[in-house]
Amino acid sequence: MKKAWFVPVAIGVVAALPAPSIAAQKPPQGEIREETHAHAGPERSDVTRPRPEKARPLPKANLRAIEVEQEPSARVTASGRVALRALVIAVDGADFGLATWKAALDRAGMPYDVVESRSQSLPPLVRQDGTGAYNAILLTNGSLLHQGGDGYVSGLDPEEWNTLWAYERDHGVRQVSLYTAYGAFPEDYCLRPGSEGGIGATPVNATLTPAGAAVFDQLKGTVPISQSYLYRSVVQQGCQAEPILTSGSDVLGVRSTSPDGRERMALTFTSNQYLPQADLLTPGLLRWATRGVMLGERRHYLNVDVDDWFSHTDHLRTDGTIDSTPGFRISRNDAEATYNQQQSFRANNPLAANFRLALAYNGEGANPGAPKTCVLTLLSPDPLTSYSRCRAGAFTWINHTFTHPKMNFTDYQTSYNEIADNLTRAQQLGLSVDRTVLKTGEYSGLGVYHPDPANDIDPPTDHGLAASNPGLLQAAKAAGVKYLHGNMSFASHRPSCFNCGTRHPLQPELLVVPDWPTNVAYHVTTRAEQTLFYNSYYGPRGRFPHWPADQTYAQILHHESEVGLQHVMSGSVYAHTFHQGNLRGTPNLVFDWVNAVMNKYKGLYKVPVLTPTWTELAAYVEARGAHFAALPNVDAVLDREAGTVTLTSPTAGSVFVTHAGTGGTPYGTDRIARVTLGAGTPVTLPASVRP
């Protein structure tokens, strides 16, 4: 007997946590500010993309195609009304494809329901007024087979399959199967046997056909498939189907029309949520299934922060010693080289034409008496300050506090002075800084610290945002701060929805917006130093051994850029963090990474990467949070005859929509808008339905 018909998808924000007592937050001793600041150990990032479980073939069962119950005259109609909501049908909660579909939908911010067909029945597919409940049907695989009493059986029985197909046919709703083998059960996708087998880390480079390129129009044409089980198929001649993805003569994806006129799309390989093929293909599958009209949106971003500008930091030398007196500070020539590398990167990458670094500065290290000039002169008491003033408009500037203290236990006045003095120094230098954005040194003051304030070696402990420094939070609010940088490597800083922030439980007016750390250490300045550091952490004799052998710099750059590329491909807006010492020389470590990520990206995509300012980034993150907060209450209905989308909500809010409305922002062939909703007041927008 099947249970409740669907798994509700929870969408919301992190609940406020109880505040600890001030006494509980007191450290054993006060913190000591050092002239050359040392970080509490280099920040750690993922070493590789998460590794998926071993891909497996679909169950084999000698089952006949299910007979389709239909009238001879039945045909798809493009008219009628359907809700902008997807229905995901899986075998059960452990179904590999369920996580893949959910990741794609969550990243876009699309509403959806889940049916675990092994134990749950289909939901009502049509509302009482005749409106279709879903505008996309997403199968984790084409058959939904699982082990039954006497062999394999489908999660949907013949009656349920026919109910689903009749809905798709009568309401013109498209169906996508994420993983499909050749054969005719429960229906025929026109795929016939070729060969099959597993693929390891070395990818099979598939190619989009002209039909596939029209569907996946954000991609250049090559789709690498790895860590997958692959059915190399052929299309039955005379069948109403066309390949969309091929490898040589093998068909790996197909678009087909059923005998009763339903539109279907199917891939013939596994696509775990962490694999590049899922990042590349699932957005296009969703756009095709929904005909482009959806609640939600998806874009790609490349944002890079460089911390500690103007400061000296520790310097790891190639002999393994660390210089902290005075440490390392980039020169004026390093700053000029950084500017030139940024200009060259923009010129060589039209898809990143607006890229620019965001510099998190510490004003104490700047000299306000240094003249504004781009020319190296002996008259300047600090050539780095002079050049920074000259090129101020080429970068985004972030308040990183005046002296870079650890702020886990600083009092209100000290915290306020650190924020305000740094803004004053920016005014003296002519740097344009948004006072609403604050990045504390080492993300301190936000509940992550080592119990021993003098311990800069061992990883800190994540005590949770409720263990944040109340003096810092109060000072930040008083200084006009609205957004605090967090760190995605800290569990308490990770938001509950994609591209969102977290309202601080002790000061809800402050939004914590996380960054991505990298494994390019804060205290390295050259490729040799980075190689030494990386292997001391991740080599076979490192603190966190991962690789069987020490890695070369080329290998390290490949690993690090793969992790960064995954973030960019996923649509993450969060910045990646580096440090000022990483900007030494030409080429420097930062632009080694930036170029490596971009070279991989532009080999796959035709759409640009966006680099918003931190003001724009924070506002977007806040808007994404508002979107997810409103989403459970929003009902959006596409009326194909009228060519409109109508949105209603019992509460006020705002959501992102794609291909609806007259305004919005273009991204590739999409147009994305943010729609404000009044409580109980319908909003009707023109819809641009894709073919």
The domain boundary residue, chosen from 572, 587, 614: 614
Predicted confidence band of residue 665 (pLDDT cuts 50, 70, 90): very high
The C-alpha torsion from 70 through 73 and 75 to 77, rounded to 10°, is: -120
Place of tokens 């073919």: 691
Q: 215 - beta bridge partners?
A: none
Judge if 425 and 472 occupy the same domain: yes
* Sign of the C-alpha dihedral computed for residues 660, 665, 670 and 675 taken in this order: negative
The domain boundary residue, chosen from 587, 614, 641: 614
Instruction: Give the model's pLDDT for residue 44.
Output: 79
- Tell me the pTM: 0.93
- In this structure, are residues 9 and 114 in contact, taking their beta carbons and an 8 Å threshold? yes
Between CA 163 and CA 103 the distance in angstroms is 27
> Which of these ranges, 11-20, 143-152, 498-507, has the smallest mean pLDDT?
11-20
Instruction: Give the model's pLDDT for residue 60.
Output: 83
- In this structure, are residues 637 and 131 in contact, taking their beta carbons and an 8 Å threshold? yes
CATH number at residue 490: 3.20.20.370
Predicted confidence band of residue 45 (pLDDT cuts 50, 70, 90): confident
CA Rg, the chain, in Å? 27
Judge if 676 and 608 occupy the same domain: no
SS3 583: helix
Phi and psi at residue 230, to the nearest 5°: -125, 130
pLDDT tens figures, 542-566: 999 999 999 999 999 999 999 999 9
Instruction: Give the model's pLDDT for residue 36.
Output: 58
Judge if 217 and 90 occupy the same domain: yes
- For residue 40, is it within any domain? no
Between CA 184 and CA 68 the distance in angstroms is 12
pLDDT tens figures, 344-377: 999 999 999 999 999 999 999 999 999 999 999 9
Predicted confidence band of residue 629 (pLDDT cuts 50, 70, 90): very high
Three-point CA angle 88, 90, 95, nearest 5°: 130
Q: Check pLDDT > 70 for residue 10.
A: no
Three-point CA angle 558, 564, 566, nearest 5°: 100
- For residue 53, is it within any domain? no
Helical ranges in 354-411 per DSSP H: 383-390
Predicted confidence band of residue 37 (pLDDT cuts 50, 70, 90): low
Measured CA distances, 557 to 518, 538, 583, 588, 680 (Å)? 11, 14, 15, 12, 53
Between CA 635 and CA 621 the distance in angstroms is 23
Q: Domain containing 650: what range?
A: 617-686
Judge if 440 and 488 occupy the same domain: yes
Q: Check pLDDT > 50 for residue 112.
A: yes
- Furthest-apart CA atoms within the chain: distance in Å: 90
- For residue 164, is it within any domain? yes
- In this structure, are residues 509 and 37 in contact, taking their beta carbons and an 8 Å threshold? no
Instruction: Give the model's pLDDT for residue 50.
Output: 85
Which long-range contacts (C-beta less than 8 Å, at least 24 apart) are formed by 678-681?
678/652, 679/649, 679/650, 679/651, 679/652, 680/648, 680/649, 680/650, 681/648
- For residue 343, is it within any domain? yes
Judge if 339 and 274 occupy the same domain: no
Per-range mean pLDDT, top range of 44-53, 73-82, 143-152:
143-152
Measured CA distances, 189 to 143, 183, 253, 429, 671 (Å)? 11, 8, 10, 66, 32
Predicted confidence band of residue 49 (pLDDT cuts 50, 70, 90): confident
Instruction: Give the model's pLDDT for residue 134.
Output: 98
CATH number at residue 191: 3.40.50.880
Judge if 223 and 368 occupy the same domain: no
Between CA 245 and CA 254 the distance in angstroms is 7
Between CA 429 and CA 422 the distance in angstroms is 11
The domain boundary residue, chosen from 251, 279, 295: 295
Judge if 575 and 678 occupy the same domain: no
Instruction: Give the model's pLDDT for residue 34.
Output: 36
- In this structure, are residues 464 and 14 in contact, taking their beta carbons and an 8 Å threshold? no
Structure tokens at 81: 């009304």
Structure tokens at 269: 């390989």
3-state secondary structure 597-653: HHHHHHCCECCCCECCCHHHHHHHHHHHHHHHHHHHHCEEEEECCCCEEEEECCCCE
Judge if 328 and 214 occupy the same domain: no
Judge if 447 and 480 occupy the same domain: yes
Q: Which residues contact 408 (CB under 8 A, 6 or more apart)?
A: 27, 31, 444, 445, 449, 453, 469
Mean pLDDT over 28-45 rounds to 54
Mean confidence (pLDDT) of the chain: 93
Q: Check pLDDT > 50 for residue 190.
A: yes
Specify the number of domains making up the chain: 3
Instruction: Give the model's pLDDT for residue 38.
Output: 63
Q: Check pLDDT > 80 for residue 23.
A: no
User: How many residues in total does the chain contain?
Assistant: 691
Q: 257 - beta bridge partners?
A: 263
Smallest CA-to-CA distance from 338 within 34, 584, 503 is with 584
Mean pLDDT over 469-474 rounds to 99
Predicted confidence band of residue 331 (pLDDT cuts 50, 70, 90): very high
Mean pLDDT over 247-271 rounds to 98
Judge if 343 and 477 occupy the same domain: yes
Judge if 287 and 325 occupy the same domain: no
Instruction: Give the model's pLDDT for residue 258.
Output: 97
- For residue 54, is it within any domain? no
Judge if 397 and 495 occupy the same domain: yes
- For residue 213, is it within any domain? yes
Pairing of strands 448-449, 433-438: unpaired
